Structure 1
């Protein structure tokens, strides 16, 4: 391999993806992922079909950035979601993270082109995502791509498991 590349994650990548997710959480000043993330990701990426459809399409998709020496230095996850207002599906990018030492080397545009290709392969015409308002580097990157932002607050509500 002579250049960095973005490719689909394989099962053997998931321990490293979980490490990168922990780095991502720390970067965003969030709680770390619960133990066992690699196993949960494996089920979403490789072990489950879309409920009731009989399709082998995974619920989650994961892309990884691999540098020439074989190290994984970033990841992006995405999944098709629905827009009621548009009456259509779009690709929701849940995470995009690069190790700080690997930023500014051209991997971000590689990720975004791979995400566009993922959307096209699913027949989707839009990608949506969010980033923290304080993440000025990411905002500049997304603005340079021609992406547009919308002001919203993201809420989270825990749901207790059934008894």
Structure 2
């Protein structure tokens, strides 16, 4: 029996944007979220490929070399700790890519990115109903926190919902 090849995780390149946008649409559907407007790849490009990017995407490839998952990160500031940390906004693997070590490889690559940026912590969230993700993160040594995330839309006219 041949062992599975070592997972490949690498930074996203401009030519990956169409596949990345497909994976994001899958992720949005998986989390039962509302569809987003078209043009995601075009909107992401200037943030990911600027001379000094403020957002990073790492891609996981399956053994055939096809991009099968991604982790998206930004540096954020914790006021209580008075330091920056790496916020992992998304970690997603296509269904057929799960269970082959790609998720662990992505999470390890995110931790390596944090170290490269001189950040000492990675933070993220996952839906409370996503038991598989929660078990995965627990096995990797992550600690969950009991907080609810809120979103407040800010319309251009300056009004807010009441």
Q: TM-score, normalised by structure 2?
A: 0.91
Instruction: Please say if 1:22 is aligned against 2:25.
Output: yes
Partner of residue 36, structure 2: 33
Q: CA deviation at 1:162?
A: 5.2
Query: Which blocks of at least 5 consecutive residues in structure 2 are unaligned?
Result: none
CA distance in 1, matches of 2:114, 2:83: 13
Pairwise CA distance, 1:66: 1.0
Structure 1: gaps of 5 or more residues: 48-55
Matches within 5 A, 1:27-66: 27-47=30-50, 56-66=51-61
Counterpart of 1:10 in structure 2 is 13
Distance, in Å, in 1 between the alignment partners of 2:67 and 2:36 is 19
Q: What is the aligned-residue RMSD (CA, Å)? A: 1.3
How many residues get paired? 154
TM-score (norm 1): 0.91
Contact 2:57 2:70 in 1 (8 A): yes
- Structure 1 segments, 4+ long, off by >2 Å, are none
Q: Do the aligned partners of 2:72 and 2:91 also contact (CA within 8 Å) in 1?
A: yes
CA distance in 2, matches of 1:131, 1:3: 26
Is 1:102 the counterpart of 2:60? The answer is no
